[in-house]
Chain A
């Protein structure tokens, strides 16, 4: 053991700011969101699956030009009910059309309806919910409106509206989003009421920050994961609404290919040619589940509490 000698020590300048430095790497919200999202293998698999289905449903109908009205093989019995093989991957239907073409065209209709209805109900719902949560006067009125509308089943309203204004893509989107925004708005209202009177919002008010700026800078960023949860719940919900309404015959009209119509049309073939029924059902289930899992993982990842390493 050597003894410690004075000459082994050197004087160092004292630095007041030394203790103030932050050694941790810089934090970036969106980078952390994506890091967290891509750390889940299931989410990546589901993202690839959902991405593939979405791309197929965008581009495959463009190539095939499928329409339920065009039936070139209707008088050729040898073209009907061909089981899935290497030429017709999903087989052919009762009119001799390729089911592969029909399924992706139908998926496209479902996705357009679901994404459009989700976008409308989320944008309207979040905007109204913010206003509702901040204003006591609006709350008194809106809570009554909510009580009335929330107690009428959405499906019933959608069915009656489609009956009234006629079937079609636009009217179905309108019928689905006309009341569903109020559920989103109510959800946002509760969240706003929880966050509204937190100390940092009081501090902003003391600093003279106007309410709209408190909403955009203080409240909305806190609700990203909540809004993501709403979206990931709404998209599969609207897909199944579309499928169900088309199945019972009040959704899209016969000119528009639809998974719901296929499921209805082919349910009598459940025993003889089951693939005609099960393939549209499976595609509708897979797209709903994969989008839901992607959305939920993204919602979790966008909550900064999960960003701790």
Chain B
């Protein structure tokens, strides 16, 4: 019950309701990338969206930040609908308050612009500085906060290492002073040795500024300690949402099981003995009424129908007794 109570106390920052994103290649050929997605993100938490490549997690992120059009459903940010048609003023408000950290630091910086321009691009667009000296001071501070040096301002992105570039990407987002940050696999293109550096940096900003993160990842091991709540997405559909310790303790949906299984074990004997679960929807028993994302325990949602609910109840009771 405690989970539920703290959830209710928390302020809702973003809520996604019945979101659907469709790509129309032609009139006949339509592809539903996101199907009926529902989740809420509370202020100050780190919400992770985990799924395999092509599952629609980046599409959800891009729909929130208005890079992709939505075909149905609502995205509510601070009580305001932000998908669909918006006035220029509201668009600016969304851009000011929601920022994104991109996956590939090599591709997400303009190679023909100096770091100075890359970092101050948002300042120019929103006139967030009084004069040239103020802008320079802001850029210096932003670079300093991510551990880069003022002398880097006149350099070009190709002169930096992957980790440094990703920090430039973070500085560029942070200088806008947003409330909500979408991090689209920010560490998956980085060397393992500097992943922790970037995660620590993100945590530092979260503590200092009370930021809210939506963290997208393709494997669960990364988000285990970083995220407060995890949503598992498969084939455009959210199959399980739970606080991260609950998800690791009581995984219910078979797809979550197979994702957990995919995390490699450091012990070679356990790793060898591990039985791989490959999730195949066509082999599942899908009989019964149409499944929906339902709450099985407070704060723990699973995509299921009533028949599956009974099965999961039994599994849960069994696990809780242990």
Contact = CB atoms under 8 A, between A and B. Distances in A.
**A and B: real partners?**
yes
Interface of A: 16-17, 20-22, 24, 26-27, 29, 198-200, 202-210, 213, 217-218, 221-222, 304
Contacts of A208: 91-92, 95-96, 122, 125-126
A210 B125 contact: yes
Contacts of A213: 125
A222 B112 CA distance: 7
B152 A22 contact: yes
Given A22-B152, A202-B67, A208-B125, A29 B112 contact: yes
A207 B95 contact: yes
A308 to B, nearest CB: 10
Nearest to B91: A208
Nearest to A16: B147
Given A22-B152, A203-B172, A209-B125, A217 B65 contact: no
Contact of A20 (B126, B149, B172): B149
Contact of A206 (B100, B103, B147): B100
Contacts of A198: 107
15 contacts: A20-B164, A21-B151, A27-B156, A199-B102, A200-B110, A200-B111, A203-B100, A203-B169, A206-B65, A206-B67, A207-B99, A207-B121, A207-B172, A209-B125, A213-B125
Q: Which of A26, A204, A205 has the most CB of B within 10 A?
A: A204
Given A207-B122, A208-B95, A221-B112, A202 B102 contact: yes
A265 B154 CA distance: 60
B108 A200 contact: yes
Contacts of B104: 199
B152 A200 contact: no
Best-buried of B91, B92, B108, B154 by chain A (most CB within 10 Å)? B108
Nearest to A202: B67
B159 A24 contact: yes
Interface string B241-264: 000000000000000000000000
A210 to B, nearest CB: 7
Nearest to A224: B112
Contact of A217 (B95, B113, B156): B113
B214 interface: no
A202 B62 CA distance: 10
B108 A21 contact: no
Interface in B126-160: 126, 147-149, 151-152, 154-156, 158-160
A213 B110 CA distance: 13
| Closest 6 pairs (CB-CB, A-B) | A221-B112, A208-B95, A207-B122, A208-B125, A199-B107, A199-B108
B67 A205 contact: yes
A198 B160 CA distance: 19
Contacts of B108: 199-200, 202-203
Contacts of B233: none
A23 to B, nearest CB: 10
Contacts of A222: 111-112
A84 to B, nearest CB: 51
A306 to B, nearest CB: 13
Contacts of A200: 107-111
Contacts of A16: 147
A221 B117 CA distance: 14
B122 A27 contact: no
B176 interface: yes
A21 B122 CA distance: 26
A22 B168 CA distance: 15
A17 B146 CA distance: 11
A209 B67 CA distance: 13
A200 B107 CA distance: 6
A296 B158 CA distance: 25
Contacts of A205: 67
Interface in B282-298: none
B111 A304 contact: yes
A260 B65 CA distance: 60
A262 B103 CA distance: 63
A199 B109 CA distance: 8
Given A22-B152, A206-B67, A208-B95, A27 B112 contact: no
Nearest to B175: A207
A203 B183 CA distance: 12
B162 to A, nearest CB: 14
Interface string B78-119: 000000000000011001100110111001111111000100
Contacts of A207: 95, 99, 121-122, 125, 172, 176
A24 B154 CA distance: 13
Contacts of A29: 112
B176 A17 contact: no
Nearest to A206: B100
A199 B100 CA distance: 11
A222 B107 CA distance: 13
A27 B152 CA distance: 12
B186 to A, nearest CB: 12
A206 B122 CA distance: 9
Contacts of B117: 217
Given A26-B154, A213-B125, 8 more contacts: A20-B149, A22-B155, A22-B160, A29-B112, A199-B104, A202-B67, A202-B102, A205-B67
Given A20-B147, A217-B113, A204 B159 contact: no
B133 to A, nearest CB: 22
Nearest to B123: A207
